[in-house]
Amino acid sequence: MVLVGVLALQGSFNEHIAGTPFFHISMAYLSRIALRRLGVKGVEIRKPEQLENVTSLIIPGGESTTMAKLAEYHNLFPALREFVKMGKPVWGTCAGLIFLANKATGQKIGGQELVGGLDCTVHRNFFGSQIQSFETELSVPELASKEGGPELYRGVFIRAPAILDVGPDVQVLADYPLSSNKELDSISVSEAQDQEGNTGSVKKVIVAVRQGNLLATAFHPELTADTRWHSYFLKMINDVGEGTSSSIVAVGAELAELHLNQQAKNDLPIFQ
Ligand SMILES: NC(=O)CC[C@H](N)C(=O)O
C-alpha cells in the first residue's frame, strides 16, 4: 500500500470553533479520508524522524503561524527542508502552500518560518478573514487533461492565501479573476503584481501551481468529493517511483474515476 505522510501538527484541538461540522474534523483527518478513497494510507507526521518512513508528504491547511510554531517546537523545519530538497513529492494546501513558498507577505508581526522551495510569493490571507471564505468554480485544464472529468473544479477557499508572483520554473495550474470577488481587501489586491512588477493593475491571482515535485493549492481539495487533486498528486509520486508500485497508483486512479462518475452533479463538500 502507498504511504503518504500528512503533516499533523494541528489536530482537532483547534477545530472546536463550533457551528459547521467541518470544524469538528481535523484537516489532516480529512486528507486521510481523501487518500483512503484512493486506496492510499495517510501517515500522520509530527516528528522529524517520522519523515523517514514516507516518500511523499501533504502539508494540510490550518493556520500557518500556529503550524510554524509547532513545527519549530518539534524541530521539524530542517527535516522538512531536506525532504523538499531531495525532490520528494510535497503538496501544500492553503496553509501548506504558505509553508512551501519562498516568500510570504501579510504575515503576523515577527513573521513565521517557512519551509520554502516553491519559487513564489504568497499573500497569507489574500482573500480575507474566515467570514470571507467562499467556494468558486476554477478552470483547471491540466487536471482535466491528466485526470479526466470537467475542466471546472470547485475550489473551497477558507481564509485563503493567493500567489502574487511565480518564478520561471513554476507551472500555473489555476488562477482566480479578482473581478469575481467584490469583497477583497484593497490592500492585498494592491500588493498583487502584474508580470512587469506593476502593482494594483493586476486582474487575477494564482491559486494552484506545480514546480517539479512540489504541488500547491490555495484551496482545499480534501473538503470536496472530487478526488482528482489527490489522484494527480499520486501520479506525481508514481513518477518519482520511490517506494510505490505503478499498479497501486493505477488502482487509485481507477477508483478516482469511479468516484467521479458516482459523484453528484454539484460537487458539495464531503461534510454535507
Ligand atoms: N485554510 C487555511 O489553511 C488558511 C491559511 C491561513 N490564511 C494562514 O495563514 O495560515
Cα(208) to ligand 1 centroid in Å equals: 15
Query: C-alpha cell of 33?
Result: 479520508
Catalytic entry in 94, 123, 191, 230: 94
pLDDT greater than 60 at residue 14? no
Cα(195) to ligand 1 centroid in Å equals: 25
pLDDT greater than 80 at residue 183? no
Q: In this structure, are residues 258 and 7 in contact, taking their beta carbons and an 8 Å threshold?
A: no
16 is catalytic: no
φ/ψ bin of 150: left (φ > 0), alpha (ψ from -120 to 50), beta (otherwise): beta
194 pLDDT band, cuts 50/70/90, is low
Is ligand 1 within 6 A of the CB of residue 125? Answer: yes
The structural domains of the chain, with segments of one domain joined by +, span: 3-262
**pTM for the predicted model, two decimal places:** 0.82
Q: Quick one: average pLDDT of 207-225?
A: 93
- The pLDDT tens digits of the residues spanning 240-252 come to 875 444 433 443 4
CA distance 251 to 253: 5
Which residue type sits at 196? E
For residue 227, what pLDDT is reported?
85
State the angle between helix axes of 27-37 and 228-240 in degrees (0 to 180), rounded to the nearest 10.
Answer: 70
Which residue type sits at 115? V
Asked: is 3-262 a CATH 3.40.50.720 domain? The reply is no
220 is catalytic: yes
Which residue type sits at 224? T
Cα(248) to ligand 1 centroid in Å equals: 32
CA distance 126 to 108: 13
Burial-class residue 63 by CB neighbours within 10 Å (0-12, 13-18, 19+).
Answer: middle
Pairing of strands 171-177, 204-211: antiparallel
